[in-house]
Amino acid sequence: MMRLRREDPRVVGSFRLHRRLGAGGMGVVYLGSDRRGQRVALKVIRPDLAEDQEFRSRFAREVSAARRIRGGCTARLVAADLDAERPWFATQYVPGPSLHDKVAEEGPLTAAQIAAIGAALSEGLVAVHEAGVVHRDLKPSNILLSPKGPRIIDFGIAWATGASTLTHVGTAVGSPGFLAPEQVRGAVVTPATDVFALGATLAYAATADSPFGHGSSEVMLYRVVHEEPHLVGVPDALAPLVRACLAKDPEERPSTLQLSMRLKEIAAREAQGLGDGRPPAQRIRTERADGRAETYADQSTERRRTAGGAPTPRAQAQPPHSGPQARPSSPRNHGSTAGRTGGRPAPRTTGTGRRPSRPDPKLLRQRLIVFVVVTLLVALGIAVAQRL
């Protein structure tokens, strides 16, 4: 927090302002309080933008999105005045650092922490998407880590499901490195757009770096569209799921509901020290034997099969010369995929040529019990948070 500057207002609406929380392209965010002492985060549009109709419309979208979303993973809207000389709105104040600051100061999070945060964010995105809203700028700095769980903030460029991602021709809205390929191309945004951003955010939490490295906006956007993410350092338990979120094709990404369920299971297993220590490739093949990883571990290979049974290769364009900042792409690390004979899939085998053993029923029952308990606890926590 920073002290108020000389040019900052002291009172906005019925709220008294105390500190600056931050400033962005649209305006300044203040810490304020009402007559009852309730603390709020109050955003005010900058004076030079208050008369710009485009910015007023964008600000109105943020307020509209905040009003429509119901769920414990977003900051609750308290008040707003869109007709003021400098439009403003106030949301519930969320104490705690952003995910970006947390990782920058303390380093990468553990697999259990990442899975727990990801599960809560996935569940929050379910509520966001059910309201017909796509955030479009989900990233570590827009996630606050409160004592009651992570909160998604800043719906300034949120848009209705199915809308285009361009404000001006050739200009993508969002943050390079966390934008989905369809946003870079100016295509229609869908809930899968936020799934891509969530995957990049989880990768950042695990490595303290963007999965597409660093560089100019042009270089970063090129990598998002044409190169594979760099996931070295992402825990084995999370790597296949994160890679699936970062699929170039939106249809190949898991849904937020699938993400929530899978991440809850991973969080419970990691918290109990039951993390899978096998190499990623072996783990994917064994899990696919009982059908559990079919929807997130190796979707892109399965969906690109042709009628003849061979995977369709993805064309790779040559990157533009970007100096020392450019880096080679990382090949996608999928599990092996068996061919087909006579229209039927061939038996799946391990690297030794033998069929993988069936999973232990006792272990499956233990996982199911843990999953149910964690789901109930998360649901109870969200219900309590919504009442507060």
Which residues are identified as catalytic? 137
Q: What is the DSSP letter of 40?
A: E
What is the SS3 assignment for 30?
strand
Rounded Cα distance between 134 and 91, Å, is 19
Closest listed residue to residue 193, CA positions, set 172, 212, 214 = 172
Closest listed residue to residue 320, CA positions, set 214, 217, 225, 222 = 222
C-alpha distances in angstroms, 69 versus 21, 158, 312? 23, 12, 40
Question: Long-range contacts made by residues 125-128, C-beta under 8 angstroms, separation at least 24?
Answer: 125/73, 125/152, 125/191, 125/194, 125/195, 125/198, 125/256, 126/71, 126/256, 126/257, 126/260, 127/69, 127/70, 127/71, 127/73, 127/74, 128/69, 128/71, 128/74, 128/152, 128/194
Cite the beta strand spans of the chain per DSSP E.
Answer: 2-3, 11-12, 15-23, 27-33, 39-45, 77-81, 88-92, 133-134, 143-146, 149-152, 159-160, 166-168, 171-172, 340-341, 344-345
C-alpha 14 chain-centroid distance: 34
